[in-house]
């Protein structure tokens, strides 16, 4: 095998089950243009966001893995642009379960995974205007870790709350900030310590299935061969499927905006996150005593290096100022990211409708970070054909996220 690009692991060897060696390169390389950089392995993962990184970390415990990424670094797209929240109470059963099952890993990662904590507790406060009282009561009735507090108590925590805005308030505990970069680098380090290779600047553009092997050719002229292909390309998931001649799922990337301001004269470091019950906006303390605000927008778009729109930045500030009396002299930073959804909004984890050992690992929407640890473990089980005995409710969850549910569409 020719030398592999990128940051090949020099991690210590581990005792682990390895698959039999793949066919040797020279015989196959001769089928491709002379000079093509050819690599043969057990599994190719496309996309080094949080999904591809956790996939590589888990899959590489039992097979040789190459993770290829179009950009110069991991997490350049959605995974580097999130709000970084671990929530206790979100969404449908599959999402809550994957979040809960991820918690132990994120809270107590394996030795050597991270030098600093991944999770930091941060409660969520709700400021409730009159027209959202019914929404608050619904939330209070459906969750155990939330309690109503007085508006005065809310203002004691967040003195910037405008007098007269909130008629009720609540505080939810058991939520955490996630250090996404530490988590992402931890997955990559774990993958490398298992012998996986991470190859940056390798954008797939042509994928073929031949003799039981996937052949992924990249724009830069490298060629990767493996019997298993994992599509963790986020917003580009359908594009990768089309490259492989498979049916796209109908993914929709949705733009979400984030704006960072200097909240002076307020000191926000100890503030909880602040939402309204309808989640029409939120804010949270950001590094260096700044405040991150999002209008919780979800504008359908296409896969791209998405940028924030001026109008969304203006809406963000306006929505925040209805609730908080904070002067905004200038926006320090703004970004947008793509939250990508399947047609029914649920994740798509598992083998493609066309089979052939092409695995979808996409559609994580707004929850890909907080569910990532269990999601990677689940994907490794699906690739190995193992029942995920550790996953409560697996018999209900697997059909809900199986990409083959779109077969009839």
Pick from 29, 166, 233, 292 the residue near ligand FAD by CB under 6 A: 233
Instruction: Tell me which stretch binds ligand FAD (CB under 6 A): 193-201, 244-252, 264-272, 358-366.
Output: 358-366
Residue 316 lies near ligand FAD (rule: CB under 6 A): no
Residue 240 lies near ligand FAD (rule: CB under 6 A): yes
Rounded to the nearest whole angstrom, what is the least distance from the CB of residue 38 to ligand FAD in the complex? 17
CA distance 132 to 206: 50
CA distance 160 to 258: 20
CA dihedral 120, 121, 122, 123 (to 10 degrees): 170
CA distance 120 to 175: 9
Instruction: Tell me which stretch binds ligand FAD (CB under 6 A): 28-36, 108-116, 280-288, 359-367.
Output: 359-367
Q: How far is CA 274 from CA 82, 129, 134, in A?
A: 16, 13, 18
Instruction: Tell me which stretch binds ligand FAD (CB under 6 A): 43-51, 122-130, 321-329, 345-353.
Output: 43-51
Rounded to the nearest whole angstrom, what is the least distance from the CB of residue 395 to ligand FAD in the complex? 25
Residues 50-89 as x/- pattern, contact with ligand FAD by CB under 6 A: xxx---------------xxxx---xxxxx-xxxxx----
Rounded to the nearest whole angstrom, what is the least distance from the CB of residue 80 to ligand FAD in the complex? 7
DSSP-based three-state secondary structure for 238: helix
Instruction: Tell me which stretch binds ligand FAD (CB under 6 A): 46-54, 100-108, 112-120, 316-324.
Output: 46-54
Pick from 109, 195, 227, 234 the residue near ligand FAD by CB under 6 A: 234
Listed in sequence order, the residues at least 6 apart from 175 whose beta carbon sits closer than 8 Å to its beta carbon are: 85, 86, 87, 88, 121, 122, 123, 124, 273
Site for ligand FAD in 88-147 (CB under 6 A): none
Rounded to the nearest whole angstrom, what is the least distance from the CB of residue 47 to ligand FAD in the complex? 3
Report residue 239 as tokens: 């594009």
DSSP-based three-state secondary structure for 237: helix
Site for ligand FAD in 317-356 (CB under 6 A): 337, 339
Pick from 172, 217, 262, 367 the residue near ligand FAD by CB under 6 A: 367
Q: How far is CA 16 from CA 59, 64, 114, 179, 190, in A?
A: 11, 11, 22, 29, 13
CA distance 392 to 184: 25
Which is nearer to ligand FAD, 68 or 222 (by Cβ)?
68
Residue 49 lies near ligand FAD (rule: CB under 6 A): yes
Rounded to the nearest whole angstrom, what is the least distance from the CB of residue 7 to ligand FAD in the complex? 15
Q: How far is CA 118 from CA 48, 269, 390, 409, in A?
A: 19, 17, 23, 40
Pick from 366, 401, 402, 406 the residue near ligand FAD by CB under 6 A: 366
Are the C-beta atoms of 239 and 261 separated by less than 8 Å? Answer: no
Cis upstream peptide for 360 (omega within 30°): no
Of 275, 405, 258, nearest to 345 by C-alpha is 405
Site for ligand FAD in 153-212 (CB under 6 A): 203-204
Listed in sequence order, the residues at least 6 apart from 189 whose beta carbon sits closer than 8 Å to its beta carbon are: 11, 112, 113
Rounded to the nearest whole angstrom, what is the least distance from the CB of residue 394 to ligand FAD in the complex? 21
Residue 295 lies near ligand FAD (rule: CB under 6 A): no
Which is nearer to ligand FAD, 168 or 184 (by Cβ)?
184
Rounded to the nearest whole angstrom, what is the least distance from the CB of residue 191 to ligand FAD in the complex? 14
Rounded to the nearest whole angstrom, what is the least distance from the CB of residue 331 to ligand FAD in the complex? 15
Pick from 103, 187, 236, 406 the residue near ligand FAD by CB under 6 A: 236
Report residue 234 as tokens: 């986020």
Sites of contact with ligand FAD (CB under 6 A): 46-52, 68-71, 75-79, 81-85, 203-204, 232-236, 240, 256, 258, 294, 337, 339, 364-370
């Amino acid at each position: 095998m020719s030398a592999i690009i990128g940051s090949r692991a020099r991690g210590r060897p581990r005792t682990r089950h390895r698959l039999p060696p793949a066919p040797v390169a020279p015989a196959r390389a001769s089928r491709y243009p002379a000079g093509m950089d050819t690599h043969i392995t057990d599994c190719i993962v496309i996309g080094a966001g949080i999904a591809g990184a956790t996939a590589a970390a888990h899959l590489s415990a039992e097979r040789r893995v190459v993770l290829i990424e179009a950009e110069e670094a991991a997490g350049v797209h959605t995974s580097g642009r999130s709000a970084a929240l671990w929530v206790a109470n979100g969404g449908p059963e599959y999402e809550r379960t994957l979040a809960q099952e991820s918690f132990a890993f994120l809270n107590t990662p394996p030795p050597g995974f991270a030098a600093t904590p991944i999770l930091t507790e941060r409660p969520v406060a709700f400021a409730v205007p009159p027209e959202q009282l019914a929404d608050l009561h619904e939330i209070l009735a459906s969750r155990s870790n939330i309690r109503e507090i007085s508006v005065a108590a809310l203002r004691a925590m967040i003195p910037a709350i405008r007098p007269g805005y909130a008629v009720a308030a609540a505080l939810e505990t058991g939520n955490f900030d996630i250090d996404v970069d530490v988590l992402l680098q931890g997955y990559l380090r774990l993958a490398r310590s298992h012998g996986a290779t991470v190859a940056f600047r390798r954008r797939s553009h042509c994928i073929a299935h031949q003799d039981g092997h996937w052949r992924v050719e990249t724009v830069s002229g490298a060629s990767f061969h493996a019997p298993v292909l994992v599509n963790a390309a986020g917003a580009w998931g359908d594009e990768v499927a089309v490259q492989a001649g498979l049916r796209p799922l109908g993914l929709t990337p949705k733009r979400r905006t984030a704006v960072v301001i200097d909240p002076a004269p307020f000191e926000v470091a100890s503030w909880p996150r602040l939402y309204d019950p309808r989640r029409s906006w939120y804010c949270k303390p950001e590094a260096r005593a700044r405040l991150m605000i999002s209008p919780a927008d979800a504008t359908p778009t296409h896969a791209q290096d998405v940028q924030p729109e001026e109008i969304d930045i203006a809406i963000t500030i306006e929505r925040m100022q209805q609730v908080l009396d904070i002067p905004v002299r200038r926006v320090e930073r703004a970004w947008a990211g793509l939250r990508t959804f399947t047609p029914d909004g649920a994740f798509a984890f598992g083998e493609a409708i066309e089979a052939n050992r092409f695995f979808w690992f996409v559609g994580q929407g707004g929850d890909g970070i907080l569910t990532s640890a269990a999601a990677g473990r689940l994907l490794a089980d699906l690739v190995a054909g193992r029942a995920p005995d550790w996953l409560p409710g697996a018999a209900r969850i697997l059909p809900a996220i199986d990409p083959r549910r779109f077969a009839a569409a």
